Structure 1
Amino acid sequence: MSDNNTVRKVDSVPSGSTAKDSGAPLLQVRDLKMYFPIKEAAGLGRTKKVVQAVDGVSFELKAGASMGLVGESGCGKSTTGRMITRLLTPTAGEILFKGTNIAHLKERELRPFRRQLQIVFQDPYSSLNPRQTVSNIISTPLRVHNLVKKGKELDRVQELLERVGLNPEHHNRYPNEFSGGQRQRIGIARALAVEPEVIIADEPVSALDVSIQAQVMNLLEDLRRDLGIAFVFIAHDLGVVRHFCDQVAVMYLGKIVEQGSREQIYGAPQHPYTQALLSAAPDLGTIRGVPPKERIRLVGDVPSPIDPPSGCRFRTRCWKAEDICATQEPLLEPKAHSSAGHAAACHFAEPKVDLTAATA
């Protein structure tokens, strides 16, 4: 396989970035919550219920770094990304960008921050307006934020197209004239147009062919290295996250259940859910404490976010669950055997798996 079709592994924070600087984090998410009310027929006297899509997510991101949010579909990853960019207004919690809480700013107050926090959507087909040319799609944010002089828009559009690996002369074409991978590059160019400091990449390669996925991932890696952009990378593909992200947060049913560096999460996962996810990813090889070709099979379905289990939300599918798991919610905190920066929300967290119980 050619280099263009192979994801380049990131062994450390790119040179020139400030991800490891001792200063304050660029982005801080604190106890973020998003509850969606459920509409019910009026006059029936029913108690109003909510979908607890995200329930108390916290993490930090430094300039130039990359945080991976992983988990099953419906765990709240994308909702978290949309709150960070304020496409959704959080029910509660804080989103601190350079020390300013933007979680509940009004639109006029929020506008200066929209430049700095951009998003690349999962579906490159629905995220681009089919009635607009590529030039119009990319130049719209330039006009909105007054970033180029009149008459210079086309030059900037062509510069951005070239930066993402597309032919600058194709600026007058429409999205339906491009492939899926090319459309995603257009979406990336649109995000780059306003020179952001943080990009939320919401499963940016999941809708693409495998060979194209590697090319787009390599492009994102180049942008991170060359421009110092920080990424919140949302994905269910653990292999992609392992290659791209410095830090990883594992989500389950609206909460982060384990968080740490790439080496900690993939080398010594402590939470049973993390161990189960990694055991199901064939391209990751053996994880510590799990023999080759062994897979942890979770029983039961993911509970409803309308009425999540008491205590630990994972307990209904966990082979380690005991009485305390139903009555006391475990805190996301370092354990006695953890290395610095590694935290898990489990009463019985440990970096080894009892396969007799786990696969029973």
Structure 2
Amino acid sequence: MTTTTDTENRPRTADEIGAPLLELRDLQMHFATRGQGWLGRGSEPIRAVDGVSFQLRAGETLGLVGESGCGKTTTGRMITRLLEPTGGQLLYQGTDITHLKERDLRPYRRELQLIFQDPYSSLNPRHTVGSIIGAPLRVHDVVPKGKELDRVRELLEVVGLSPEHYNRYPHEFSGGQRQRIGIARALAVQPKVIVADEPVSALDVSIQAQVMNLLEDLRKEFDIAFVFIAHDLGVVRHFCDRVAVMYLGRVAEIAPRDPLYGAPAHPYTQALLSAVPDLAVARGGTPRERIRLSGDVPGPLDPPTGCRFRSRCWKAEEVCATTTPPLVELAGGQAVACHFAESAEPVAA
């Protein structure tokens, strides 16, 4: 009987196979609902995520933005496989991990970590900080037995906390300090990808900049790729290399940071950016025109046919109701799903 070494079991690097670090191909997450008919049959699923595709390179940061309920958090939980997708493919370093069982998924869990939004509920109040950060070290055998405490102290120092506070409980720390503990827990297993699910939205404004600066420093020091989920477009512009705009479970536009903020192609992206405070106005500049969307956001249980944004779009025509616009690549790495997109011409096939 042949045996397999840990080295053979590890996920191959992106350089070894020439593939993106992470790739989503038409990823879907549909949740079943209780029907109204006989035995609850005949119900339509909630299409929380309904065909999301993008790639993430090593060391890159990709921002996921959009209104509440657009599927950002669900996408992040599928990437870390806290949720098993109902359709599409999730590839990590060229390997399809979409439906891997828990035993086969373990090596990949080490490299795909999540920072939760709420630092108050994401830490077990009955465990000390040392136990919380040390748990992944023990589960994944990251350090030799008996060396966990040294590694915990080192991680606490890396995120700007006192190494001697390992024996304290979460309630003894402020919100910003608790989020630093959550960041240390994610760093413990030396991941290649971190999904940060609105990591500063629950913190005071005075603390948000400190945590964002910490994430930026960690990104540079450890060459970590981030999927950064946020509502704050200003934070995303500061932190992310590329930005994907989601609307009702799909990607409306994805582009490098500067082209997207400078010349958004999708009407929804234009509306979002028009609502961002403009510092030029404070310096005496002319305020840009605010785009105000009419109507309510449709629900994922019964989304509009064709383009999902058409019910609120001022450019909508008949084709928008009958044909779903594909995500078409434009010049400069910009891609947009709109029949009447602005910006550069599509890239020739």
- TM-score scaled to structure 1, two decimals? 0.88
Pairing partner for 2:43 from 27, 39, 48: 48
CA separation in 1, counterparts of 2:333 and 2:280? 24
Pairing partner for 1:268 from 263, 270, 275: 263
Q: Give the equivalent residue in structure 1 for 2:106.
A: 111
Query: What aligned pairs does 1:1-360 form with structure 2 within 5 A after superposition?
Result: 23-40=18-35, 43=38, 46-283=41-278, 292-334=287-329, 338-351=330-343
CA separation in 2, counterparts of 1:318 and 1:303? 12
Q: Displacement of 1:39 after TM fit?
A: 1.6
Structure 2: runs of 5 or more not aligned: 1-12, 345-349
What secondary structure is seen at the aligned counterpart in 1 of 2:48? strand
Q: CA RMSD of the aligned region, Å?
A: 2.0
Q: Displacement of 1:284 after TM fit?
A: 6.5
CA separation in 1, counterparts of 2:263 and 2:36? 49
Q: Displacement of 1:151 after TM fit?
A: 1.7
What secondary structure is seen at the aligned counterpart in 1 of 2:304? coil
Q: Given the superposition, is the C-alpha separation of residues 98 and 22 from structure 1 closer, same or farther in structure 2, using an over 3 Å criterion? A: closer
Residue correspondences, number = 328
What secondary structure is seen at the aligned counterpart in 2 of 1:68? strand
What secondary structure is seen at the aligned counterpart in 2 of 1:40? coil
Q: Output one character per residue of 1:13-50: Cα deviation in whole Å (capped at 9) or x when no partner.
A: xxxxx999994211111100000000235626751211
Q: Output one character per residue of 1:279-321: Cα deviation in whole Å (capped at 9) or x when no partner.
A: 00114658xxxx6242101011110100100000000000111
Amino acid at match of 1:314: F
Amino acid at match of 1:349: A
What secondary structure is seen at the aligned counterpart in 1 of 2:38? coil
Asked if the contact 1:94/1:101 (under 8 Å) is kept, the reply is: yes
Q: Given the superposition, is the C-alpha separation of residues 99 and 219 from structure 1 closer, same or farther in structure 2, using an over 3 Å criterion? A: same
Amino acid at match of 1:72: E
Q: Output one character per residue of 1:85-105: Cα deviation in whole Å (capped at 9) or x when no partner.
A: 000000011111111110100
Q: Output one character per residue of 1:211-238: Cα deviation in whole Å (capped at 9) or x when no partner.
A: 1111000000001101000000011110
Asked if the contact 1:54/1:79 (under 8 Å) is kept, the reply is: yes
CA separation in 2, counterparts of 1:150 and 1:210? 40
Q: Given the superposition, is the C-alpha separation of residues 146 and 317 from structure 1 closer, same or farther in structure 2, using an over 3 Å criterion? A: same
CA separation in 2, counterparts of 1:189 and 1:100? 27
What secondary structure is seen at the aligned counterpart in 1 of 2:295? coil
Q: Displacement of 1:340 after TM fit?
A: 2.6
Asked if the contact 1:239/1:284 (under 8 Å) is kept, the reply is: no
Q: Given the superposition, is the C-alpha separation of residues 136 and 68 from structure 1 closer, same or farther in structure 2, using an over 3 Å criterion? A: same
Q: Given the superposition, is the C-alpha separation of residues 177 and 74 from structure 1 closer, same or farther in structure 2, using an over 3 Å criterion? A: same
CA separation in 2, counterparts of 1:339 and 1:32? 25
Q: Displacement of 1:264 after TM fit?
A: 1.1
- TM-score scaled to structure 2, two decimals? 0.90
CA separation in 1, counterparts of 2:120 and 2:15? 36
CA separation in 2, counterparts of 1:22 and 1:349? 35
Q: Give the equivalent residue in structure 1 for 2:9.
A: none
Q: Give the equivalent residue in structure 2 for 1:7.
A: none
CA separation in 2, counterparts of 1:222 and 1:110? 29
CA separation in 2, counterparts of 1:231 and 1:303? 29
Identical amino acids, percent of aligned pairs: 71
What secondary structure is seen at the aligned counterpart in 2 of 1:239? helix
Q: Given the superposition, is the C-alpha separation of residues 30 and 255 from structure 1 closer, same or farther in structure 2, using an over 3 Å criterion? A: same
Amino acid at match of 1:118: Q
Asked if the contact 2:196/2:227 (under 8 Å) is kept, the reply is: yes
CA separation in 2, counterparts of 1:256 and 1:299? 21
Asked if the contact 2:36/2:42 (under 8 Å) is kept, the reply is: no
Structure 1: runs of 5 or more not aligned: 1-17, 353-360
Q: Given the superposition, is the C-alpha separation of residues 44 and 152 from structure 1 closer, same or farther in structure 2, using an over 3 Å criterion? A: closer
